[in-house]
Amino acid sequence: MKKVLLSLFIAVSIAIPSSAAAFKATDRVPVVGAALLTKSGIPSNNVKFMVVSGAVDNSNYAANKTVNVSTQELTYTGNDSEVAAVVANELGHIISGHASKGKLVNLLTADSNASTNETASSIATSLKTSKEEKEADILAADLMVNAGYNPLAIIVVLTKQTGTYWETIQGKPANADRAMSIYNYISYAYPAKVKAGYGCNEYRNFLTYADSVVAERKANKKLETKNTKTQQKAKSTSTTQLRKFKTRGGMSGWDAAYGLLNGAQ
């Protein structure tokens, strides 16, 4: 009997790492992507999810219904929630209109001088500013919760990456500012998710940093009040953007404006 139990234990021990190693993020992108859309009331039957190398450009989503996802970002994922964090961020940019804003800027400056056009081109190719990433992360968290994924995976994917020189010498996790921003939002909008936590070293290491930041903020009434108002506004903005995106049939305000102006020319 002991030999049988030992054999079973060895078999299970071998099977577990084998199963974990079999996870292939690129294969999960279409499934996870469809869930993120449909669970938030956005039809996904005509939407494609493509994994691409290099820079990701989703400025033509309104026309081709294709969501491009970075293969580099997917290297930091190890389960469906983490894949959802990457895909939902791209959807967040699309819903906010970050991906199509550059096209509209170029259209409006098409008849201007070369210097202006060069500036517009620079704006178009730099679609994801820090502010835009944070805005996309908030939409991503809402989409993930609607679809049953753990939004704390956003923090895990961010902090798995290599930190900057200044983050390292200051003892901060990678992407500390952005990770703290979404942690504050999830703590406000989905406190039960924060209470449940996320079982990995990256998240535990992040909490070591985050707990001290939160404690310092809570010790200052003005900072705590400001944070609450910031999260309230973020939740309201995210809800409004998602509602309008669905009402327009899968277009952001920037997409709608571009379509009107382009059609008028």
Amino acid code (one letter) for 247: T
pTM value is 0.84
Residues 176 and 59: their CA atoms lie apart, in Å, by 28
3 assigned to some structural domain: no
Query: What's the pLDDT tens digit per position in 241-264?
Result: 999 999 999 988 878 877 777 665
The single residue listed with the structure tokens 């940093």 is 209
Domain count, the chain: 1
155 assigned to some structural domain: yes
Residues 92 and 153: their CA atoms lie apart, in Å, by 15
130 assigned to some structural domain: yes
Query: What's the pLDDT tens digit per position in 118-160?
Result: 544 454 444 458 899 999 999 999 999 999 999 999 999 999 9
Where in the sequence is the domain holding 97, given as residue range(s)?
16-264
9 assigned to some structural domain: no
4 assigned to some structural domain: no
Q: Give the residues across from 50 on adjacent strands.
A: 68
Residues 39 and 174: their CA atoms lie apart, in Å, by 31
Query: What pLDDT score was predicted for residue 110?
Result: 65
Residues 19 and 57: their CA atoms lie apart, in Å, by 33
